[in-house]
Each structure stands twice: as C-alpha cells, then as structure tokens.
Chains A and B, each alone.
Chain A
Amino acid sequence: MNLFRIILFPVLLLVSSHAFSQDCKDFYKSKDCYVYVPLDRDFQLYNQAKSAYVEIGKPTIFKVVLYGKKDFIVGICAGDKYYRQIRFRIIDGITHTILYDNKDFDFIESFGFTVEKTQPLDLEVTVMSKEKAAQSQKVCLGIQILWSNVQETPSSKK
C-alpha cells in the first residue's frame, strides 16, 4: 500500500501540475483574455504577451519594450474566481513615472494606445480580492498585447 502511495501520488501530482501549467501557459490567448479589436484594423499578437502565476494582492511587473510607430492594445485577465478587480498601471521603465492607472477608469481591463518612440515600459498588474482566503494565493494572470502599424490619419497623409 505504501509503495502504491509513493508511486501514484507523484505521478498524479506531476500530471495535474503539467495540466495546470499548460492551462496558464497559453492563458493570454484564451477567450478569457479576449480584447475588443476594431473591425477595420489588423492587429497581431505581440511577442511579449505572456501568462504567469502571480500572487493575489501583490504587484507583478511585466517589463516590456514596445516598438515605436505602432498601435497597441493591452488586455489583462486572471483565471481564478477569487479575484475581484485587476489594477493595471503603465509605468515608464526608466524614470518610473506612472503614465496610466486603470483605477482612474473604473478598473477597465484593456487599454489601446499609440507608441511614438521605441521604449521600455513596466506593465504593473495587481490581482485584487476581497476574500481573506484568497490573499497570497496564486492565480494565472494573462497579459494580452496586440499590435498594428500606426494607422495614418487624414492629416498625417497630407
């Protein structure tokens, strides 16, 4: 019986661990991370989109470099029922100045913008929960980043 336990438990744990990590790996591509894309625009998945396990209540920084003359849409999502809101801030990667805080926009979970010059940005994300039991637990967090070349406006074409 002991031998049975010793063999079976690690096997099951590894299998479930694998299934769990697989779930998180592509989480940013899942429907839970769907972001609205204008129908007339062709946005592609940016290579620095990522999913990671994060601790509830603790800020996680995704250090990205966004290339200039491109439009971006950043969407954030978390895969656990404990979370209540996701705080999302865009911080200058060099000066650490806060450029955007979704707290000012009712914690909206996606944000579209143009980047003029290539620059490092810190995308700071905090999954927040009201439940005591959830504090310090880990959840899968996805950062969806889509990009497209800057759309020329009538004035820029002149």
Chain B
Amino acid sequence: MPDIFNTIVIFVNNLITYKINCIMLTKNLLHKSLVMIVAAGVLLFVSCQGGNKSGSQQTAADSSNLKDISQNVKDVVYPLPTPFEMTKMLSTIGVGYNSAILNPVDKAEKYFTERSKAVNLGVYIADFAYVNLCQDKTYALTYFKVIRDLALKNNIYGCFNDALFNRIQDNLANNDSLVSISQEMYYNMSDILENANRQNMNALITSGVLIESIYLAVMNVNNDSEHQKNIQKILEQKQLFDNFYEFISLYKKDKDVKLELNRLDTLKKTLNKVVVKSTNKIITKDKNNHRTVKGGQEIIVNETIFKEFKENIIKVRQEITSISTK
C-alpha cells in the first residue's frame, strides 16, 4: 500500500514540478485524468496535513551506501535580496531622507511599453522601501497605490490587493510592521512570477529595484567624515550586482531583458574597474570552536571610479524612468 501511495505522489509531484500546462494536455493524458484526479486529491490532502517528516529525520546516517554527488550538472538558485533589505543596508551609511530624488508618482501612468512598466514597477518598489525605512508616512500609501496600479498593468494579480492596502494603512504608525508587510508583499510577487514561469518579468522588475536602490544611496553620499566608508559600502554592492547580472543573463533571449542588460553593461564595466585586494579565503576555528570566514576581497576606494559609477547610475536611472514610447 505505501508503495502505491508513493508512486502516486511521485507521479503527481513530477507533473507539478515540471509545470505541465493544463491546456496542453494530450488525449492520452485525458484518458488517465480520473486517476490523476484521485492523485491530485490525495496530494492536496497530504499537503494540507503538513506531512510527516519524522521518518526521514530519524533515519540514521550511512554515507557509505549513498550515491556519490554528481559534480557536472548543477542547478543554480539566485536568492536576491529584497529592496527593503538593500535600502536598509544602504541606510546604515547614514543617508538622509530626500523625497525630491524619488521617481514622481504622476509619471507612472505614462509608462506604456512592457519593459518600462516592469522596470519602473521595480523603481517604485525601491522608492516605497526608502520612504518606509525613512518613515515618511505621507508617501507610503501614495507609492503603494502606484505599485498596485503598475502591478495590474503588468498582469500581476493576487499580491497587491485591498486587504494588503488596509494592512499597510493600519500599520502606518508601526514602522517594523510596515517593513515586514512590504517584504512579504515583495516575496509574494516574486513567487507569483516564479511559479507562473515569468522570470523574465521578475528580472526586469528586480533590475529596476537594484538600479533605484543604488541610485538612492549614491545620491545621499555626502562629503563628510564617513565619505570613504560610505563609498566602500556602495561599491561592495558589486558582488550583489554580479550575482544579479548572472541571473538576468539567463533570460537574455527576451528582447526586453536584452535591452536592460545593455544598460547594466555600462554599470558592470565601471564596477569591473573597482580595485580589489584579494587574500585567500579560509575558515578558521578559535579555541571556543567558533568559525570565521577570513580573507576574500576588500574593495579599495577610488574617488575617480566612484565618480564614474555615480555618473553612470544617474544616467541609467534617468533612461529607465524617462517617458519613452520605444
């Protein structure tokens, strides 16, 4: 009996995992649909129960019989940070708040191309994160409304609804809750796009988020005593940028993503000029058994490169937020 059950679960699991499109069901599959209805029902029941994981956890370790790990074929997952985390991290450089540098909300309805709607959704999400973290309650709801409208124009449904709007409204006085709700909103949107096989859209939105987050940070760097330290923190985003670049490159067959990649190339070229001091990375262990990842790359601050990077990010941001019909 458990074998039959396992077979059914594996079968349905395969169907779901490979995201077979229901519209494309073959005649052959339809003949088997009754079996699948039962299987899907069983799976639904199982997933609602939460499953029993204890069996696997009680299994004793026995590595000798395990299959060796394939070293050749690997899947890669890019867990990109949320705009809230990015802005929060950048806010540690002690930036002030300047609402004048935000992308004006009245431009939102003028974005007509698919690419500009998606990228600017990302821009507004980053702005929303910035106003929330800087506790500007005046703009929080205004920017949320813009995000909701642009999400609908991008055919993203289910994460920017009235219930969320009301939750944000109710939590305006509580900044921690607001940030937490906003993060949840962003995660949900990413998941919706990922599950709908719309990673190209996800890549465009995240590109907007990344450019706007860096732009907000760069525009807030002052010539104060923390100047060098702040530049270093911004240039350290190179590593995050490289991961994102790798991620977005996966979707370069999409014409909109390809155009966006061309823009990011300008920034990448400048960031590649950043001088890094590399030392061997190792994990050490102290007398208390505490481990530390030592070494790695240290960004050497260079004013000229930062200036070039700042000019480029302003230019790129200007390009993506401008109203264009192309």
Chain A residues packing against B (C-beta within 8 Å):
2, 5-6, 8-10, 12-17, 19-21, 23, 25, 32, 47-50, 52-55, 57-68, 78-85, 87, 90, 92-95, 97, 99-100, 103, 106-107, 111-121, 124, 126, 128-130, 133, 135, 137-138, 143
Contacts and interface: CB of A to CB of B under 8 A. Distances in A.
Given A55-B75, A81-B55, A120-B242, A130 B66 contact: yes
A121 B25 CA distance: 41
Interface string B231-258: 0000010011011001000000000000
A84 B66 contact: yes
B59 interface: yes
A80 B56 contact: yes
B210 to A, nearest CB: 12
Contact of B291 (A6, A114, A119): A114
Interface in B291-311: 291-298
Closest 5 CB pairs of A and B: A10-B22, A47-B85, A50-B79, A48-B79, A119-B296
B102 to A, nearest CB: 22
A85 B66 contact: yes
Contacts of A16: 12, 16, 40-41, 43-44, 47
Contacts of A111: 291
Interface of B: 6, 10, 12-17, 19, 22-23, 25, 30, 33-34, 36-37, 40-41, 43-44, 47-48, 51-53, 55-56, 59, 61-63, 65-67, 69-71, 73-82, 84-85, 89, 183, 187, 191, 195, 236, 239-240, 242-243, 246, 278, 280-283, 290-298
A113 B293 contact: yes
B63 A5 contact: no
Contact of A67 (B22, B34, B89): B89
Given A57-B70, A67-B89, A19 B44 contact: yes
A99 B14 contact: no
A79 B67 contact: no
Given A5-B33, A81-B55, A120-B243, 11 more contacts: A6-B30, A6-B33, A9-B40, A16-B41, A20-B43, A50-B77, A78-B56, A81-B52, A81-B53, A84-B61, A112-B290
15 contacts: A9-B36, A12-B40, A47-B79, A58-B70, A84-B61, A85-B66, A100-B291, A107-B63, A113-B290, A113-B292, A116-B293, A117-B296, A118-B239, A130-B62, A137-B13
Nearest to B290: A114
B65 A130 contact: yes
A82 B67 contact: no
B281 A99 contact: yes
A59 B44 contact: no
Name the residue among B59, B69, B293 with the largest chain A CB count within 10 angstroms.
B293
Nearest to B39: A16
B37 A57 contact: no
Nearest to B242: A120
A36 to B, nearest CB: 14
A146 to B, nearest CB: 14
A62 B79 contact: yes
Contacts of A118: 236, 239, 296
A49 B6 CA distance: 29
B38 to A, nearest CB: 9
Name the residue among A21, A48, A65 with the largest chain B CB count within 10 angstroms.
A65
A115 B280 CA distance: 14
Contacts of B297: 94, 117, 119
A25 B75 contact: no
B76 A32 contact: no
A124 B195 CA distance: 23
Contacts of A124: 74
Given A81-B52, A118-B236, A61 B47 contact: no
A138 B19 CA distance: 12
B239 A60 contact: no
A148 to B, nearest CB: 13
Name the residue among A52, A62, A95, A118 with the largest chain B CB count within 10 angstroms.
A118
